[in-house]
Structure 1
Amino acid sequence: MAVKEKYQPVLDLGEQLNIQDGDVTVEGDILKIKGTAKTQYEKNILWDKIKEIGGENPSDIKANIKVADESVYARHIVKKGETLGKIAKHYYGNAAKYQAIFKANTNILKNPDLIYPDQELVIPNL
């Protein structure tokens, strides 16, 4: 299997995430990709997909992924039925870290139990 086809799911994910300044080349048996993700979270998603396909230390892909906004881990649009705990579990793997999200958003949130659909929350770097 050619290396570009092997990592096609990574390239597709890059398009879905709207990675900027993207470039993909093949040199021999190595796929070289570069681009800029909006946030560290999106960069992590790309790396997780690379590792899912190529293993923990893949030798057939070289990725240079930069982050446009390093001041936050992610930005999240609240969906119906979500809580800060659910959002913290999604991004950090730990619902108890909801307080960090609340503290980063006190400009729009007055109570951690009251969030509303379509609010854009900053998910801070921990």
Structure 2
Amino acid sequence: MSAKDKYQAVLELGEKLGIKEGKVSEENGVLKIKGTAATQYEKDILWDKIKAIGGEKPSDIMANISVEDASVYHRHTVKSGESLSKIAKHYYGDPMKYKQIFQANTNILKNPDLIHPDQVLVIPNL
């Protein structure tokens, strides 16, 4: 199996995330990928997928992923039924970090208990 075949799920995820300036090549059994993720969160998702397939320190892939907007961790569009604590748990693994999300969005949020579908929230770097 070629490295490209092995990491096909990573390439598909990159397409789904809309990674810009993507380049993929294979040399001597090593897959080389390069591109620009919109946010650090998207870069982290790609690395998580790489590690899930190749282990903690894979030797058959070299990835050079830069981040277009390092001022935020991500931008999240609120879906029906979500709360700031649920969003915080998703991005940070800790629902109590909802306060940081609220503070980063006081320009559009007046109450941490009132968010609405389709609002775009800044998920700050911690």
Q: Which TM-score band applies after superposition, normalised by the shorter structure?
A: over 0.9
Deviation of the 1:102 alpha carbon: 0.1
SS at match of 1:46: helix
Deviation of the 1:29 alpha carbon: 0.7
Q: Percent identity of the aligned residues?
A: 71
Residue identity matched to 1:115: I
Does 2:119 align with 1:116? no
Displacement over 2 Å in runs of 4+: none
How far apart are the structure 1 equivalents of 2:27 and 2:80? 46
Specify the alignment match of 1:14 in structure 2: 14
Specify the alignment match of 2:57 in structure 1: 57
Deviation of the 1:16 alpha carbon: 0.1
Tell me the TM-score normalised to structure 1 length: 1.00
Does 2:6 align with 1:2? no
Could you tell me which runs of 5 or more consecutive residues in structure 2 were left unpaired when the two chains were aligned. none
Q: Deviations over 1:10-68 (max 9, x none)?
A: 00000000000000000011000000000000000000000000000000000000000
Cα RMSD, aligned residues only: 0.2
How far apart are the structure 2 equivalents of 1:2 and 1:82? 41
Could you tell me which runs of 5 or more consecutive residues in structure 1 were left unpaired when the two chains were aligned. none
